[in-house]
């Protein structure tokens, strides 16, 4: 049993998936691997995410310590997002997941066409 932020998890995988699971969080981390990005850059890189969902996911990733949010005091406001060291630690794992997906898609397509 693992307790994190007042929530009890039955196993570490449950905790991990709560932190980075879902459709968008891993994609956001993946996009931030290349460079620091502003909100609209992230939005353009994921055209199917809504503004509200992107905002929610960024807040959650920031709260969990995976991304940095830097607000510049200027007009118009400028906010940049980047990975923390914890976020960067996920990149090898996400890379393996990406490779697995490509392999899986290729094999399933071969089976389907047989």
For residue 70, report the phi and psi dihedrals to the nearest 5 degrees. Answer: -115, 125
Residue 10 lies in a domain: no
Rounded mean pLDDT, 31-40 = 96
Residue 98 lies in a domain: yes
Share of the chain above pLDDT 70, in %: 98
Residue 91 lies in a domain: yes
- Residue 35: DSSP 8-state: S
> What is the C-alpha separation between 27 and 36, in angstroms, rounded?
14
Number of domains in the chain: 1
Residue 16 lies in a domain: no
pLDDT, tens digit, for every residue of 48-59? Answer: 999 999 999 999
Residue 30 lies in a domain: yes
Rounded mean pLDDT, 78-101 = 96
Residue 13 lies in a domain: no
Residue 65 lies in a domain: yes
Residue 49 lies in a domain: yes
The parent domain of residue 79 ranges over: 24-113
Asked whether the whole model's pTM tops 0.85, one would answer: yes
**Ordered DSSP codes for 14-63:** HHHHHHH-SSSHHHHHHHHTTS-EEHHHHHHHSTTS-HHHHHHHHHHHHH
Number of residues that this document lists for the chain? 114
Q: What is the pLDDT of residue 24?
A: 97
Strand partners, 82: 68
> What is the C-alpha separation between 9 and 4, in angstroms, rounded?
8
Place of tokens 């807040």: 59
CATH code for the domain of 83: 1.10.10.10
């Amino acid at each position: 049993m693992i307790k994190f932020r007042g929530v009890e998890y039955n196993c570490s995988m449950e905790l991990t998936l709560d932190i980075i699971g879902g459709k968008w969080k891993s994609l956001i981390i993946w996009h931030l691997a290349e460079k620091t990005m502003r909100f609209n850059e992230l939005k353009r890189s994921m055209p199917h995410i809504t503004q509200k969902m992107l905002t929610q996911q960024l807040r959650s990733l920031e709260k969990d310590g995976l991304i940095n949010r830097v607000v510049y005091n200027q007009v118009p406001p400028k906010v940049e997002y980047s990975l923390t060291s914890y976020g960067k630690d996920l990149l090898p794992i996400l890379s393996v997941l990406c490779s697995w997906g490509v392999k899986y898609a290729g094999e399933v397509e071969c089976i389907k066409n047989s």
